[in-house]
Amino acid sequence: MRILLTAHQFLPQFAAGTEVLTHSVARELQKRGHVVHVLTGHPGSANLADEDRFDEYDLDQIHVYRFHHSYIAVGSQTSAIELGYDNRLAVTYFERILKTFKPDLVHFFHLNRLGTGLIECAVELGVPRFMTPTDFWVVCPTGQLLLSDGSSCAGPSAHAGNCVRHVAQNTQKGFIRKAAELLPTAWVDLLVRLTKNGTLPSYPKRAEVVALAKRWHANVLRLNMLNGLVVPNGFMREFLVRQGVIPRLITEVAFGIEVTEPAVRAEQRERRQPLRVAFIGTLAPHKGCHVLIEAFKMLPDAGASLKIYGRSEDFPDYVRKLKSLAGDHKAIEFCGTFPNSEIAQIFVDIDVLVVPSLWYENSPLVLYSAQAARCTVVASNLPGIADVIHGDVNGLLFESGNSSDLARQLLRLLNEEGLLQRLGAQARAPKSTEKYVDELLAIWRGVE
């Protein structure tokens, strides 16, 4: 088969979970004789002309089409919000790819920067289309279901007034930001409804309010044009159904990873002094690395060491806050990042992986990698994570955002004889990429 995969960004510049998953699936499909290309979004310069926003390159014998997206006016589109989820220039590029590459199917792993308009384009050209939502972006503009105060969000309100409030709090200053903080969501819903039906006169940012109001419904409508959605857990299934996605389109299939034999056997993972703790992931606020640093500073001196792996370039302001929080603590080290192919070796030097996420993680791949390495995981007790890590069985769970509770769990590993070894021995072997691709192929072939 000829297969086109999509992601919102891709290797070699970006190597978080969605990118690694897309790359792994592409390589496995290639091993089986399929022809696989990838279309990716990319944060592009605002100075590029429309015709210069497309380029191509090859990675591991995978041909990659790249759309350089930026939040500036493109053609008749002026709304930054609309350009993020309904980019007509990206659709033009996608249509060209479909007509030249002629894929037998498209599987979307992410559509940020590209837009859900690609789904309609595939429908019009009669190309079978599937999607794996790796976060909540199709419904939530931030992809994280988090409000500005860090609390969890259930999704858009009646007219997406809560989304308007959230975006205003994040992007505006002065009176508008203050009003967004103080106005009840019901009032903002009314403002959005009156704006959409033309009752209110024009005002600054009106186009963005309209785009946010349309976003949720447009994206769900397009999801229902897919031949199938492949979700990694029950939480994502239930969430999408609540948002209006047709249940029969959804199949639950846990992610797979490239599994190798553990370099360290479980019985070798005895309690060490100091205990070697690590964070591996995106250094962004919603990933909660600050919670880990706060907890780590509560541990006895010389009791543990902490290595933090992640790119400092993506969220530089947050990384500066992390380094300020760490201060001159001699046992905390910022280690940068590493190629995903080296992750098994990284786990050789780790006793405990901490996943302190503040959002409803969608089964982060690093959990599976830790389980494959039989490395003990201490993680936030949130859906998605708790589907993989069961407290006091194959890891430890703590209250999300609670650094004291995290410190308590880490102290257990320091003080309870045999706990680290027992949890590592009960690690659950994750699904392989090979098995995951078997399941994807079965779903694709099941469509008439």
One domain, residues 185 and 111: no
Whether 154 and 203 map to the same domain: the answer is yes
**What backbone phi and psi angles, to 5 degrees, belong to 128?**
-55, 140
Residue 261 covered by a domain:
no
With CA atoms as reference, report the closest residue to 266 among 379, 430, 426, 391. Answer: 426
Determine, yes or no, domain membership for 220: no
Same domain, residue pair 247 and 107: yes
> Is 323 inside a domain boundary?
yes
Alpha carbon distance 37, 64 (integer Å): 6
The structural domain count of the chain equals 3
Are residues 394 and 438 both part of a single domain? Answer: no
**Cis peptide bond N-terminal to 300, omega within 30:** no
Buried b / exposed e over 19-51, threshold 16 CB at 10 Å, is bbbbbbbbbbbeeeeeebbbbbbbebeeeeeee
CATH number, domain at 239? 3.40.50.2000
Q: Are 237 and 103 in a shared domain? A: yes
Residues 102 and 155 in one domain: no
In a domain, 317, yes or no: yes
Round to whole Å and give the CA distance between 247 and 230: 11
Task: For CA atoms 191, 192, 193, 198, give the dihedral sign.
Answer: positive
pTM comes to: 0.89
Considering the domain boundaries, does residue 407 fall inside one? yes
Same domain for 277 and 351, yes or no, is yes
**Residues 421 and 439 occupy one common structural domain:** no
Distance CA 148, CA 136 (A): 16
Domain extent at residue 64: 2-134+227-256+433-445
pLDDT by 10s per residue, the chain, length 448: 999 999 999 999 998 889 999 999 999 999 999 999 999 999 998 889 889 999 999 999 999 999 999 888 877 788 989 999 999 999 999 999 999 999 999 999 999 999 999 999 999 999 999 999 999 999 998 888 888 777 888 889 888 989 998 888 888 888 888 888 888 889 999 999 999 888 988 888 898 999 999 999 999 999 999 999 999 999 999 999 999 999 999 999 999 988 766 545 545 555 567 999 999 999 999 999 999 999 999 999 888 999 999 999 989 999 999 999 999 999 999 999 998 888 888 999 999 999 999 988 877 889 999 999 999 999 999 988 998 999 999 999 999 999 999 999 999 999 999 999 999 999 988 899 999 999 999 999 987 5
- CA–CA distance from 163 to each of 47, 140, 251 (Å)? 29, 8, 28
